[in-house]
Amino acid sequence: MNFSSAALARIIPFAAFMGLLALRGFLPENQHLDPRWIYGLSVLVVGGLLAWYWREYGELVRQNLPNRRETLWSIGVGLIVFGLWIHLDAPWMQLGEPTASFLPLDAEGRLIWSLVVLRWIGAALIVPVMEELFWRSYLMRWVESPKFETVDPMRIGLKAIVLSTFVFMLAHTLWLAAIIAGLAYAWLYVRTGKLWTAVIAHAVTNGVLGLWVIHSGQWQFW
């Protein structure tokens, strides 16, 4: 299968992020190598890739920024998804075994703020752009047509929304929360035709979730 430069620009950052996170499970535990820093490395790599490919992201140019009403809708959707995400965690709402919690604590139980800040920046600013470029801009439109660049987001059909949301769900432990999040971000994208609305909602969800986790100590949600 031949991928266009636009497709690769959306696939490679996502694949690099997932690949680096998967690497954590293969790293030996020793005092010189802390797997928790892999997330920070992933953020730096993905941020660099997004900057490298930025010219391929026509949907994210300034002319496609949402207006005030669309921005408020995006923020509202992001907050609703956050509220549901922290409550839809019953055992039957989880897919497979829960992932290992991220615990940014030292041996004395104190917060390692460098880890916390780096993870929050990645989750709130880098990951939403990377994921929305892959899940919504690429995958949803690719389901409609292999020449996804020609697909108008506002004409994406139900099949593309459902299939992309299903795959999005498989990438998360909290499957029910992931379905709601995927459908919510997809709705914004299709309703407005602007990827920024999905990015903003996703960023609000992740950003507020990170602040809530830091305040509550519920690290299993992070």
pLDDT tens track of the chain, all 222 residues?
689 999 999 999 999 999 998 887 676 665 566 788 889 999 999 999 999 999 999 999 999 999 999 999 999 999 999 999 999 999 999 987 655 567 899 889 899 999 999 999 999 999 999 999 999 999 999 999 999 999 999 999 999 999 999 999 999 999 999 999 999 999 999 999 999 999 999 999 999 999 999 999 998 888
- The pLDDT assigned to 70 comes to 98
Contact yes or no for 35/115 (Cβ under 8 A): no
- The pLDDT assigned to 36 comes to 84
* Maximum Cα interatomic distance, the chain, rounded to a whole number of Å: 55
The pTM assigned to this predicted structure is 0.94
- The pLDDT assigned to 24 comes to 73
Contact yes or no for 27/38 (Cβ under 8 A): yes
> What are the residues facing 94 on neighbouring strands?
174
- The pLDDT assigned to 1 comes to 67
Distance CA 97, CA 80 (A): 26
